[in-house]
Amino acid sequence: MKNSKQRVLFLCTGNSCRSQMAEGLLRQLGGDQYESLSAGSKPSGYVHPMAVEAMRELGIDISAQLSKSIDDFLPPAGQQPDVVVSVCDSAARECPAFPGPVQRIPLPFDDPADAEGSDEQKMAVFRRVRDEIKSAIEERFCDK
């Protein structure tokens, strides 16, 4: 058996907020059952500081994660995932076809980067989306 861990790729457009938080959450919650990954269809090149802060509040450090392209996971460049979770509708539409059996799961969430208002109001949106993603991951991937 090549790898007993299931490779789960969280995909959004910019790979700066939702998919980054999801990658960190599954890494923390999924134990050694999963290899948690994230990418963007049009990567922004950075991880949003408020996403980093929202995750830090849960004791999860995503500050070293990088914004990556979906192309990094397509053969021949990279090892394809077993599961692709699209955390936004745009990424679901733009997700390329992977050769072989890849399970696709659409789980769209609001983009917290679109939040308006004061920094505290924006942070509240990041926390809400983080908590929604956490609940969805616990429901789909964790035996708790």
Question: Which domain does 106 fall in, by range?
Answer: 6-141
Question: 1 in a domain, yes or no?
Answer: no
Residues labelled as active-site residues? 12, 88, 95
Instruction: Kindly tell me if the per-residue pLDDT of 144 is higher than 60.
Output: no
Number of domains the chain contains = 1
CA 75/CA 133 separation, integer angstroms: 28
Question: 68 in a domain, yes or no?
Answer: yes
Residue 1 has what pLDDT? 43
Mean pLDDT over 36-47 rounds to 94
Question: 22 in a domain, yes or no?
Answer: yes
Question: 27 in a domain, yes or no?
Answer: yes
98-130 pLDDT tens trace: 777 889 899 999 999 999 999 999 999 999 999
Cα-based distances in Å from 59 to 35, 36, 37, 62, 136: 19, 17, 19, 10, 19
Domain of 99, CATH number, reads 3.40.50.2300
Cα-based distances in Å from 7 to 36, 37, 44, 130: 6, 7, 23, 21
Backbone conformation region of residue 15, classed left if phi is above 0, alpha if psi is from -120 to 50, else beta: left
48-92 pLDDT tens trace: 999 999 999 999 999 999 999 988 888 777 788 999 999 987 755
Instruction: Kindly tell me if the per-residue pLDDT of 27 is higher than 50.
Output: yes
Question: 102 in a domain, yes or no?
Answer: yes
CA 21/CA 27 separation, integer angstroms: 10
Residue 8 has what pLDDT? 96
Residue for token digits 């059952």? 33
22 contacts 10 by C-beta, under 8 angstroms: yes
User: Two tokens at 119?
Assistant: 């920094």
